[in-house]
Amino acid sequence: MIVTLGSVTPEGIGRATGVSLSKKKENPSAVFYGGGPAGAIEDVHLALSKTDFTWHVAWTYDANRMPSEGDLDLGRYGARVTTNINPRIPPEGTFSHVYDYMGFRLFIQFNTRSRRLRGAALHKL
């Protein structure tokens, strides 16, 4: 699991997700990596700050192969902080449940109509 990694590196995220990451671009503040697909994961994105110890990792799944919201035990992440809605993400819009989990901000995203798991993101702030 990503939250248990001692440090976040492209290699460590690759091992945790099963997706080999390569450098995609860089700017003065961050280095961006990406990779996929592999198995049920469509893609993985990692952004590492060059100026401090923050990072962001996000991954998406093949929504047709993923469980529905009601099939998952989201209570294990603690109390939900908020829910974000984005109707512009194809094909049907998304909503994300947001948690403060083990000192990280965790976003678990579902497709709006099918309510199938679409992806997740973890922020180290």
Three-state secondary structure of the chain? CHHHCCCCCHHHHHHHHCCCCEEEEECCCEEEEEECCECCEEEEEEEEECCCCCEEEEEEECHHHCCEHHHCCHHHHCCEEEEEEECCCCCCCEEEEEEEECCEEEEEEEECCCCEEEEEEEEEC
At 8, the amino acid letter reads V
Cα(first)–Cα(last) distance of the chain, in Å?
A: 18
Q: What is the pTM of this model?
A: 0.87
Q: Point out the residues of the chain with pLDDT beneath 70.
A: 1, 63, 125
